[in-house]
A and B are shown apart, each in its own frame.
Chain A
């Protein structure tokens, strides 16, 4: 066949084609990036939204916005100053003996409206939920006294409304809150300032936490918070307020500790067992090897839910109970292994998936490497420990990360095994009890703060070990 005569492009045409190709390349890249950006927003958006909402006084407020008082630098400075005045602590604030906390508040008063001095009160505010609602607590109201109001010079001003401009003046007041006598240091100093009808709240040293009574009462959760006590109020509360009723120990810290311990022990156990079993299945020749491997695979096919009742009963009875003797009493659990991290590790640590991953990885290592070691007289153990295991580092790294993530986020088993007391729980189960305790009274800020905190270790892990994550996924899914 004769080739079609090559059509010669003119210089202009050539340039046009190049331009077209460039545009097309850019359009393609643009499209890919737009889609990726969209995915990023869709996946990261809720997390960011939760993180910002967890800072707010009312996390349910809609629409979500970054322009919140907690993110305003002027409030940071004021919070630090007030915290310093309240308890000489610019970070966490408080209300300590000898404190003199200065405060100012300003109202807009339209022309023709009489100015009445507002009522300033340190209220006796009992928490609506959680331990604060149940246990006897110290109230700032019992120790605080509010000074006379000092009226600041009026400043003429106008306010724009939908109906036009209203002229009037800015009326400001200054006062101090003093800690009278001696007493304990108190966590927070709430404040209510109630103005007459017609006076509109403008601003104050620290932005009001909420306006109540149709705008008349400016209510402050804490007027001596310190910077962190102000911006991260819900986070500070998560650590401070969630305490064991019996020991007053911080439950949230205990839960974090349990989660880390559980994850660490599970990683160690998984690595040891999976690498040894994987090596045996990959390299040793013994009778029944195939059958055992099939059994391992098969155990992965059985859903967790099918086995959990029998496993639960095994834990409850301390593995085996014969005539009043409980097997688990040998290692310190005479009453069964429910409600213990040991029991939890016991039922979750054996992971057929991990064995499978390790077996496949060992099979990918050339036999010649081991044969060389064998010629040098290395036995199975030496070959495993000194030759193959160091080469398996990528697989072990991936397994570590996957196990950590799995253990940290594990809900099902901890939920079944760890019920009582409160301080034996892991973080996800603890967060569930938050919902029951604080959700009922609308305290979503605290719940969100707890949830965001629990996500942080996994996020850090992901950012630092991104590469291993990808490898982990390809080990798990790609081979054979």
Chain B
């Protein structure tokens, strides 16, 4: 008895000496629960054997504000989320450890690594990601007798299909087009346009950008597309769930919403239409794990980073239908080929990351404020308050001021 006690005590002491507590700061919502399950079912035992315990601290509300507070108060965790849209700003604080030589980034999707690369150094490992895809309402297409959208659609054939479905009924529209660059941008990229040139300047008066704006807003002015707010919805997913529109352009985040709000909606998913450049355009929405330079347990933090972005963890997250993994090797996972609408949608979103002109949802160190002038211009054009030229000229002026201020 005494010997057992001694062994237990000794183990506890040794364990205590090596026990390392790693904190992770991230989003609220369901992420805390996902991490608990991930620890319980996949990586927890492995880490515990090495004497590492994990705690997750969700930052509710405005994540970026909370993270910047934590960084300046010195209370930021060993590992924290870096949202792609604010990544340049967070990395510029100097509080994120460059992973060069410490972490192998080769197995991860290239565009995701690029979104976290600054001056040749990688600062974050993408946790998961999303891109945009075309989700279509099978019932509406069947009723209108129109072919479903497919991977070969160009802007023109795509718009024709929407027109044909919209003709079905006065309260049926082709799609909801929000007046926001966070969706519209994918079409701008399909023309080959890029938000920043080599000098960090933006050209909204580029003919390619004008072409995209004209195409996007003309569909609204024609009545084929409609702004979500015009039919009492807050976003495209809402339009889609109520059978009001034939297609929705959203990421895989819409699937959970559909499960709740329209569990019987029959939908299929395909790739974004091919733009004038002969390529599709798409956004990468992602969040990465970064390591705090001030972390007292840097080695353990690296070990945790390896485990939570490891093949086993990512495969589990994918197969549970919780998120889309950032490792290229998972492209062949059988889950993607299950043939259910959700699996298909996940596959299309996954493959979207490497198909055409795909850019991170990122605006240098200006952050999402960059979008404001563009969004204002889109609203003005869609509602007929100004012409394309007028509003883009004004937006260009506002944007120049923004960029100048950020320099």
Contact = CB atoms under 8 A, between A and B. Distances in A.
A364 interface: no
Interface string B24-65: 000111101110110000000000000000011111110000
Contacts of A415: 60-61
B258 A433 contact: no
B33 A134 contact: yes
Contact of A212 (B32, B243, B255, B259): B243
A213 interface: yes
Contacts of A123: 263-264
Given A214-B143, A440-B29, A128 B259 contact: yes
Nearest to A440: B29
A104 B36 CA distance: 43
A118 B54 CA distance: 51
A441 B256 CA distance: 6
B267 to A, nearest CB: 11
A442 B256 CA distance: 9
A380 interface: no
Given A135-B33, A316-B75, A128 B60 contact: no
Contact of A433 (B58, B241, B259): B58
A133 B256 contact: yes
B57 A419 contact: yes
Interface hub of A62, A126, A245, A309 (most chain B Cβ within 10 A)? A245
Given A135-B33, A194-B264, A128 B258 contact: yes
B118 to A, nearest CB: 28
A245 to B, nearest CB: 4
Given A134-B37, A213-B264, A126 B57 contact: no
A216 to B, nearest CB: 8
A125 B56 contact: no
Nearest to B232: A62
A50 interface: no
A125 B232 contact: no
B32 A129 contact: no
Nearest to A422: B32
Given A126-B259, A212-B243, A420 B37 contact: no
A222 interface: no
Contact of A125 (B58, B73, B75, B259): B259
25 contacts: A58-B261, A125-B263, A126-B259, A127-B259, A128-B258, A128-B259, A129-B29, A133-B30, A133-B322, A134-B322, A212-B262, A212-B265, A214-B140, A214-B143, A245-B37, A415-B60, A415-B61, A419-B59, A422-B58, A433-B58, A436-B29, A436-B61, A437-B29, A440-B29, A443-B260
Interface of B: 27-30, 32-34, 36-37, 55-61, 73, 75, 139-140, 143, 232, 237-238, 241, 243, 253, 255-266, 320, 322
Interface of A: 58, 60, 62, 123, 125-131, 133-135, 190, 192, 194, 210, 212-214, 216-217, 219, 245-246, 309, 312-313, 316, 338, 415, 419-422, 429, 432-433, 436-437, 440-443
